Amino acid sequence: MDRGTGDRGRGDRAGAADAGLHHRTDLDHPIFTESIGLIRARLGPTGLTGIDQEVGERLIHSSGDLTLLPDLVFSPGACALGLAAVASGAVILTDTAMAAAAVAPMARRTFANPVHSLLEWAPAVAPPGGTRTAAAVAASLAAHPGAVVLIGSAPTALERLLELVAAGRAPAPALVIGMPVGFVGVLASKRHLAASGLPQIRLEGTRGGAGLAAAAANALLRRAWLDQAP
Protein backbone atom coordinates (compact mmCIF):
# COMPACT_ATOMS: atom_id res chain seq x y z
CA MET A 1 0.00 0.00 0.00
CA ASP A 2 1.47 3.34 -1.05
CA ARG A 3 1.16 5.95 1.69
CA GLY A 4 3.71 8.34 0.22
CA THR A 5 2.85 12.01 0.02
CA GLY A 6 4.80 12.89 -3.13
CA ASP A 7 4.95 16.47 -4.33
CA ARG A 8 1.86 17.42 -2.34
CA GLY A 9 3.55 16.35 0.90
CA ARG A 10 6.66 18.36 0.11
CA GLY A 11 4.52 21.37 -0.71
CA ASP A 12 2.61 21.00 2.55
CA ARG A 13 5.86 20.93 4.52
CA ALA A 14 7.19 24.00 2.71
CA GLY A 15 3.95 25.83 3.34
CA ALA A 16 4.00 24.95 7.02
CA ALA A 17 7.56 26.21 7.33
CA ASP A 18 6.80 29.49 5.55
CA ALA A 19 3.67 30.12 7.59
CA GLY A 20 5.43 29.37 10.85
CA LEU A 21 8.47 31.61 10.54
CA HIS A 22 6.80 34.43 12.46
CA HIS A 23 4.50 32.34 14.64
CA ARG A 24 6.70 29.84 16.41
CA THR A 25 5.45 30.74 19.86
CA ASP A 26 1.83 30.18 18.76
CA LEU A 27 2.33 26.46 19.40
CA ASP A 28 1.70 26.91 23.13
CA HIS A 29 -1.71 27.66 24.58
CA PRO A 30 -1.54 29.89 27.69
CA ILE A 31 -3.00 27.08 29.81
CA PHE A 32 -0.24 24.75 28.60
CA THR A 33 2.40 27.34 29.45
CA GLU A 34 0.94 27.86 32.93
CA SER A 35 0.69 24.11 33.47
CA ILE A 36 4.33 23.54 32.58
CA GLY A 37 5.34 26.23 35.06
CA LEU A 38 3.36 24.51 37.79
CA ILE A 39 4.80 21.13 36.88
CA ARG A 40 8.35 22.48 37.07
CA ALA A 41 7.67 24.02 40.45
CA ARG A 42 6.27 20.75 41.77
CA LEU A 43 9.06 18.61 40.35
CA GLY A 44 12.11 20.63 41.34
CA PRO A 45 15.44 19.31 40.00
CA THR A 46 14.92 16.14 37.92
CA GLY A 47 18.35 15.34 36.55
CA LEU A 48 16.96 15.80 33.05
CA THR A 49 17.90 18.66 30.75
CA GLY A 50 16.82 20.14 27.45
CA ILE A 51 14.46 18.15 25.28
CA ASP A 52 14.57 15.16 27.66
CA GLN A 53 13.09 17.40 30.35
CA GLU A 54 10.51 18.75 27.91
CA VAL A 55 9.39 15.25 26.95
CA GLY A 56 9.00 14.38 30.62
CA GLU A 57 7.04 17.55 31.34
CA ARG A 58 4.69 16.93 28.45
CA LEU A 59 4.04 13.37 29.62
CA ILE A 60 3.20 14.68 33.07
CA HIS A 61 0.97 17.35 31.56
CA SER A 62 -0.90 14.71 29.55
CA SER A 63 -1.28 12.24 32.41
CA GLY A 64 -1.47 14.42 35.51
CA ASP A 65 1.04 11.99 37.03
CA LEU A 66 4.01 13.64 38.72
CA THR A 67 5.57 10.29 39.61
CA LEU A 68 6.36 8.89 36.17
CA LEU A 69 9.77 10.49 35.47
CA PRO A 70 11.81 7.72 37.14
CA ASP A 71 10.32 5.29 34.62
CA LEU A 72 11.09 7.45 31.58
CA VAL A 73 14.15 6.16 29.72
CA PHE A 74 16.01 7.58 26.73
CA SER A 75 18.59 5.65 24.75
CA PRO A 76 21.75 7.69 24.06
CA GLY A 77 20.99 10.42 21.54
CA ALA A 78 17.38 9.34 21.12
CA CYS A 79 15.87 12.80 21.27
CA ALA A 80 18.47 14.28 18.93
CA LEU A 81 17.66 11.59 16.39
CA GLY A 82 13.95 12.18 16.88
CA LEU A 83 14.34 15.93 16.42
CA ALA A 84 16.29 15.43 13.19
CA ALA A 85 13.74 12.96 11.89
CA VAL A 86 10.66 15.08 12.48
CA ALA A 87 12.41 18.21 11.19
CA SER A 88 13.19 16.37 7.95
CA GLY A 89 9.50 15.53 7.52
CA ALA A 90 9.68 11.87 8.57
CA VAL A 91 6.44 9.95 8.57
CA ILE A 92 5.00 9.28 12.01
CA LEU A 93 3.42 5.84 12.47
CA THR A 94 1.20 5.06 15.45
CA ASP A 95 -0.37 1.85 16.66
CA THR A 96 -3.81 3.41 17.16
CA ALA A 97 -6.03 5.95 15.47
CA MET A 98 -6.27 7.71 18.85
CA ALA A 99 -2.54 8.37 18.96
CA ALA A 100 -2.54 9.50 15.33
CA ALA A 101 -5.35 11.96 16.08
CA ALA A 102 -3.38 13.35 19.04
CA VAL A 103 -0.21 13.93 16.98
CA ALA A 104 -1.71 15.15 13.71
CA PRO A 105 -2.58 18.71 14.88
CA MET A 106 0.98 19.42 16.06
CA ALA A 107 2.38 17.88 12.89
CA ARG A 108 0.15 20.13 10.77
CA ARG A 109 1.26 23.23 12.68
CA THR A 110 4.95 22.43 12.35
CA PHE A 111 6.57 20.32 9.61
CA ALA A 112 3.41 18.79 8.08
CA ASN A 113 4.72 15.31 8.79
CA PRO A 114 2.36 12.64 7.45
CA VAL A 115 0.79 10.78 10.39
CA HIS A 116 -0.63 7.30 9.87
CA SER A 117 -2.06 4.56 12.04
CA LEU A 118 -0.67 1.09 11.46
CA LEU A 119 -4.27 -0.03 11.14
CA GLU A 120 -4.31 1.47 7.64
CA TRP A 121 -2.25 -1.57 6.61
CA ALA A 122 -4.08 -4.08 8.84
CA PRO A 123 -6.09 -7.04 7.58
CA ALA A 124 -9.83 -6.98 8.17
CA VAL A 125 -9.54 -9.90 10.59
CA ALA A 126 -6.74 -10.59 13.07
CA PRO A 127 -4.64 -13.64 12.18
CA PRO A 128 -4.84 -16.64 14.53
CA GLY A 129 -2.93 -15.91 17.72
CA GLY A 130 -2.11 -12.35 16.67
CA THR A 131 -3.52 -8.87 16.37
CA ARG A 132 -4.44 -6.70 13.41
CA THR A 133 -1.90 -4.08 14.44
CA ALA A 134 0.96 -6.56 14.66
CA ALA A 135 0.05 -7.91 11.24
CA ALA A 136 0.31 -4.40 9.79
CA VAL A 137 3.81 -3.66 11.05
CA ALA A 138 5.80 -5.16 8.16
CA ALA A 139 3.86 -3.37 5.43
CA SER A 140 3.89 -0.02 7.19
CA LEU A 141 7.64 -0.10 7.90
CA ALA A 142 8.39 -1.14 4.32
CA ALA A 143 6.27 1.75 3.03
CA HIS A 144 7.97 4.29 5.29
CA PRO A 145 11.61 3.49 6.11
CA GLY A 146 13.02 5.88 8.66
CA ALA A 147 9.66 6.58 10.27
CA VAL A 148 9.14 7.63 13.85
CA VAL A 149 7.06 4.85 15.39
CA LEU A 150 4.76 5.31 18.39
CA ILE A 151 3.50 2.29 20.32
CA GLY A 152 1.09 3.19 23.12
CA SER A 153 -1.37 0.33 23.20
CA ALA A 154 -0.17 -2.80 21.39
CA PRO A 155 2.80 -4.68 22.84
CA THR A 156 2.25 -7.26 20.10
CA ALA A 157 3.02 -4.60 17.50
CA LEU A 158 6.17 -3.61 19.36
CA GLU A 159 7.31 -7.23 19.54
CA ARG A 160 6.64 -7.70 15.83
CA LEU A 161 8.60 -4.58 14.96
CA LEU A 162 11.58 -5.78 16.98
CA GLU A 163 11.44 -9.24 15.39
CA LEU A 164 11.32 -7.87 11.85
CA VAL A 165 14.12 -5.37 12.34
CA ALA A 166 16.35 -7.90 14.11
CA ALA A 167 15.84 -10.37 11.25
CA GLY A 168 16.62 -7.75 8.62
CA ARG A 169 13.12 -8.03 7.19
CA ALA A 170 12.15 -4.42 7.87
CA PRO A 171 14.05 -1.12 7.99
CA ALA A 172 14.85 0.24 11.41
CA PRO A 173 12.75 3.24 12.45
CA ALA A 174 14.45 6.54 13.12
CA LEU A 175 13.03 6.38 16.63
CA VAL A 176 10.70 4.12 18.60
CA ILE A 177 8.52 5.68 21.28
CA GLY A 178 7.63 2.52 23.20
CA MET A 179 4.93 3.10 25.80
CA PRO A 180 2.41 0.26 25.56
CA VAL A 181 0.05 0.22 28.51
CA GLY A 182 -1.35 -2.71 30.46
CA PHE A 183 -0.45 -6.03 31.99
CA VAL A 184 -0.38 -8.69 29.25
CA GLY A 185 2.86 -8.74 27.30
CA VAL A 186 3.71 -5.13 28.17
CA LEU A 187 6.69 -5.63 30.49
CA ALA A 188 8.28 -8.20 28.19
CA SER A 189 7.90 -5.98 25.14
CA LYS A 190 9.58 -3.10 26.95
CA ARG A 191 12.44 -5.35 28.07
CA HIS A 192 12.93 -6.50 24.49
CA LEU A 193 12.87 -2.90 23.25
CA ALA A 194 15.51 -1.97 25.84
CA ALA A 195 17.74 -4.79 24.60
CA SER A 196 17.20 -4.06 20.90
CA GLY A 197 19.72 -1.25 20.49
CA LEU A 198 17.16 0.81 18.55
CA PRO A 199 16.92 4.54 19.27
CA GLN A 200 14.08 4.75 21.75
CA ILE A 201 12.09 6.61 24.33
CA ARG A 202 10.25 4.22 26.59
CA LEU A 203 8.21 4.26 29.76
CA GLU A 204 9.05 1.34 32.02
CA GLY A 205 6.41 -0.57 33.95
CA THR A 206 2.74 -0.97 33.15
CA ARG A 207 1.99 2.69 32.46
CA GLY A 208 1.74 4.11 28.97
CA GLY A 209 -1.01 4.61 26.43
CA ALA A 210 -1.83 6.50 23.26
CA GLY A 211 -1.90 9.86 25.01
CA LEU A 212 1.58 9.49 26.49
CA ALA A 213 3.17 8.19 23.29
CA ALA A 214 1.59 11.09 21.41
CA ALA A 215 2.77 13.56 24.06
CA ALA A 216 6.37 12.47 23.54
CA ALA A 217 6.07 12.92 19.79
CA ASN A 218 4.45 16.32 20.21
CA ALA A 219 7.30 17.44 22.46
CA LEU A 220 9.77 16.52 19.73
CA LEU A 221 7.76 18.29 17.02
CA ARG A 222 7.44 21.42 19.14
CA ARG A 223 11.11 21.61 20.07
CA ALA A 224 12.36 20.91 16.54
CA TRP A 225 10.09 23.67 15.22
CA LEU A 226 11.16 26.20 17.84
CA ASP A 227 14.83 25.40 17.25
CA GLN A 228 14.71 26.45 13.61
CA ALA A 229 16.58 29.61 12.69
CA PRO A 230 14.22 32.61 12.57
Rounded Cα distance between 10 and 170, Å, is 25
- Residues contacting 116, CB < 8 A, separation 6+: 3, 91, 92, 93, 94, 100, 140, 144
CA dihedral 211, 215, 217, 223 (to 10 degrees): 170
Q: Is 61 assigned a catalytic role?
A: yes
Q: Nearest CA to 17 among 83, 104, 108?
A: 108
Q: Which residues contact 9 (CB under 8 A, 6 or more apart)?
A: 89, 112, 114
Q: How does strand 92-94 pair with strand 175-178?
A: unpaired
- CA dist 59 and 48 (Å) reads 14
Dump strand ranges (E) for 111-178.
115-117, 148-151, 175-178
Q: Which of 23, 29, 61, 144 is catalytic?
A: 61
The SS3 of residue 206 is coil
* Closest-CA residue to 186 (of 153, 141, 230): 153
- What single-letter DSSP state applies at residue 173? P
**Phi, psi angle pair for 203, to nearest 5°:** -115, 110
Please list the active-site residues.
Answer: 61
